[in-house]
Amino acid sequence: MKYTKLFLCLLLVAALPLAGCKKNTATDTSAVTLATGENGESQLTDPSTQAAAAISAEFTKTDLTDTYETVAATVTFSGATAAVEGSGAAQNGSVLEITAGGTYLLSGDYSGQVLVNVPETDKVQLVLAGCSVTYGDGSPILCESADKLVITLAEGTKNTVTDNGSGYVDVEDGEEDPNTRTAGAIHAKCALTVNGSGALSVKANYHNGIHTKKTLKLVSGTVTVEAADDGFKGKNAVAIRGGSLTVTSGEDGIQCSEEENTAHGYIWIEGGSVNITAQGDGIDASLYLIQKGGEVTVNAIGTQRKTGTSSSTGGMGGGMRPGMGGTSSSGGYETNSDGYYKIETKGVKAGSAISLSGGKLTVNSTGHAVKSSGTLTVGGDIVLRVRAYCEEYRTNSKGLSADSDLLISGGDTIIEYSYEGVESSGGTIYVTGGSVRVEYAVDDGFNASAGGSTMGGMGGGMTPPGMGGSSSDISSDEEETGGIVFSGGYTFVNAFGDGLDSNGNLTVSGGTVIVAGPTNSGNGALDCGDNNNHIAVTGGILVAYGASGMAEAPDSSVTSQYTVAYNANLSAGGLLTVLDEDGKPIIAVEIAEGNVGQHVVISCPAFEKDGKYTLVSGGTVEGESTDGLCAAPTAFSGGSTLTTLTLSSTVTGSSGGMGGMGGGGGGGRPGGRW
């Protein structure tokens, strides 16, 4: 719904395969290219997707080893005392200091600090075998120097690390202050790995839970983190291979922050179970988020900040820092300049690219559920369930959102609720395979735009004050890329705003696309905008219906598959069936609950040139139906004839209402469907 000049290169795009497991390497990503895949299919690539595909977390033998037959020392804690048997460790006041590489077996309850300070070439394995460490003057477990620290959780044991200190400050490398405490209850300045089959509970009352300045890995074990700030943080990267991780955090659940080194800055999940409840972002990757497996559940529960307050209404942190909001109105919530409530937190986000290709990801977020500041690819056998919801309906929260191209090539995606379901704000949306369902969007189901316009939307009389089209820094006469392409897969959209808002060319060349569009006249089931854009259907099945006031139909000059566009008068539950000249049912659609069929577009391969078809309302159809679409009905009876059409042109029937005007402002509280 943004008034911009947009253009779309028509491309048939296949899934972008992820690289196999290998050592991380930087990739030359100087230009957006179209490459050819192994099987000769065209393949969308650009800098961020190329770089993400080059990333592969490396789990070494040291990471995977959780045995400890030989130990340098056995340490038994009792209160403030550490009894040491062996070499390489000694107690100095309230600190147990480890000064040589090797394996150390720790058990008992300790009121003090475990300090690892060995040469940078040495590795240290701490085996926690029924161990509790509580400390109030810094990190209970601190690694000042080592090549790598491995924390092994002994089988059948429960272990705890509790930070009772105060005043922790996260100081980045090169900014060390001798008066500044370290950032995590477990803190390492080297690579840190957790493995084993036991359990570890970390309680960080004043800052981060588990934190390393390098790469943080979880191989196995059951880890629970409660943190006042970030829960599980590796500055360079985070990699999860297995085990169970539960995080409750006042800020981000899992985070990495490296932005300069493009071989790092990633969060990698290939297995295990992850459950996050965060007041900030659930998962925050500075560059890349890659999920190839595992089961991940994210609840990002930060809320918008009320005017006149200095903290999130959602509790601790919430990512809502003073001065971060836009304009505000007294007595309400802080808003952006476009009138939408300001929510900084995201469910899952990355600064360059997100690739989801395996496992299961469930996100419940008050801000955007899945947000990439670059590209977003969904494929493989990923099972993705997201909900972007806030009690205040003016919150502009998206289900899947990318600032560049967004590609869905496989998997099973359901967006239960969002302001907009699938959005690319600076590129093209491609659906080449898989299944994607936008079960309810307050505004657009799909929206592709290269930035929008400073001009407000049309609204259609359904829009509260301040709810017109969004604004941006891009003027309405700038050429930008955008558009939506369907070449495969299954797509269902239920939207109160525009169903598919391409702000550029909208193309259906394959797959099945069903759009249950708006009930208000300020929006349409299909909307390609008014900048010489078009809707083209060259294959697949397209069924789109909704209000007729802003309805648009495919353009016969670029549409090669025969298509019917008809102004009907069907209410929710109404059945529209197309019969051929012999009375045989070709395709049937039932209007979804809460929708209307004032204007209906139907295109399918079964339609033939110069064929005569009858549109029938009501009656009974037999055959398998999905989301109201019966694509191959076996029998039909009853009903009332609406019209008979001869398909002499690739697009036959009525074009709808005003058409070509672009989407309205939308976003108002929908009557009867909220």
Residue 628 lies in a domain: yes
Residue 324 lies in a domain: no
- Write the DSSP assignment of 237-288 as a string of letters: EEEE-SSEEEEEESS-SEEE---S-TTS-EEEEEEEEEEEEESS-SEEESSE
Please say if the pLDDT value at position 626 is more than 50: yes
Averaged pLDDT, 540-547 = 97
Residue 54 lies in a domain: no
Distance in angstroms (rounded) separating the CA atoms of residues 515 and 491 = 8
pLDDT at residue 454, as a whole number: 26
SS3 content of the chain, % helix, strand, coil (to 5): 0, 45, 50
Residue 599 lies in a domain: yes
Average per-residue pLDDT in the chain?
A: 81
Beta bridge partners of 537: 508
Distance in angstroms (rounded) separating the CA atoms of residues 427 and 407 = 10
Q: Which of 383, 527, 533 is nearest to 457 (CA)?
A: 527
Q: Which of 636, 629, 646 is nearest to 581 (CA)?
A: 646
Q: Encode pLDDT of 571-588 as tens digits.
A: 999 999 999 999 999 999
Q: Encode pLDDT of 36-48 as tens digits.
A: 333 333 345 566 7
271-296: b or e for each residue (b if 16 or more CB lie within 10 Å)? bbbbbbbbbbbbbbbbbbbbbbbbbb
pLDDT at residue 171, as a whole number: 52
Contact 657, 549 (CB under 8 A): yes
List the structure tokens of 418: 């969002």
pLDDT at residue 337, as a whole number: 67
Angle at CA 406, nearest 5°, toward 405 and 410?
140
DSSP label at residue 333: B
Distance in angstroms (rounded) separating the CA atoms of residues 581 and 200 = 71
Distance in angstroms (rounded) separating the CA atoms of residues 170 and 172 = 6
Q: Encode pLDDT of 300-313 as tens digits.
A: 987 655 444 433 33
- Write the DSSP assignment of 466-523 as a string of letters: T-SS---SS-TTSEEE--EEEEEEEEEEEESS-SEE-SS-EEEEEEEEEEE--SSTT-
pLDDT at residue 531, as a whole number: 81
Distance in angstroms (rounded) separating the CA atoms of residues 392 and 222 = 37
Residue 556 lies in a domain: yes
Per residue, what are the HEC states of 416-431?
A: EEECEEEEECCCCEEE
Residue 516 lies in a domain: yes
pLDDT at residue 666, as a whole number: 34
Confidence of residue 456 (pLDDT cuts 50, 70, 90): very low
Domain that includes residue 566, residue range: 506-653
Q: Encode pLDDT of 373-415 as tens digits.
A: 999 999 999 999 999 986 555 567 899 999 999 999 999 999 9
Residue 319 lies in a domain: no
Please say if the pLDDT value at position 320 is more than 50: no
Contact 36, 14 (CB under 8 A): no
Q: Which residue has the higher pLDDT, 626 or 136?
A: 626
User: Which is it for strands 266-278 and 288-300: parallel, antiparallel or unpaired?
Assistant: parallel
Q: Encode pLDDT of 629-665 as tens digits.
A: 999 999 999 999 999 999 999 999 865 443 333 333 3
Averaged pLDDT, 198-202 = 98
Distance in angstroms (rounded) separating the CA atoms of residues 535 and 533 = 7
As for how many domains the chain has, the answer is 1
Q: Encode pLDDT of 50-86 as tens digits.
A: 777 788 899 999 999 999 889 999 999 999 999 999 9
Dihedral over alpha carbons 512, 515, 516, 520 (to 10 degrees): -170
pLDDT at residue 53, as a whole number: 78
User: Which is it for strands 141-145 and 95-98: parallel, antiparallel or unpaired?
Assistant: unpaired
Residue 141 lies in a domain: no
Please say if the pLDDT value at position 298 is more than 50: yes
For the chain, the first-to-last Cα distance in angstroms comes to: 21
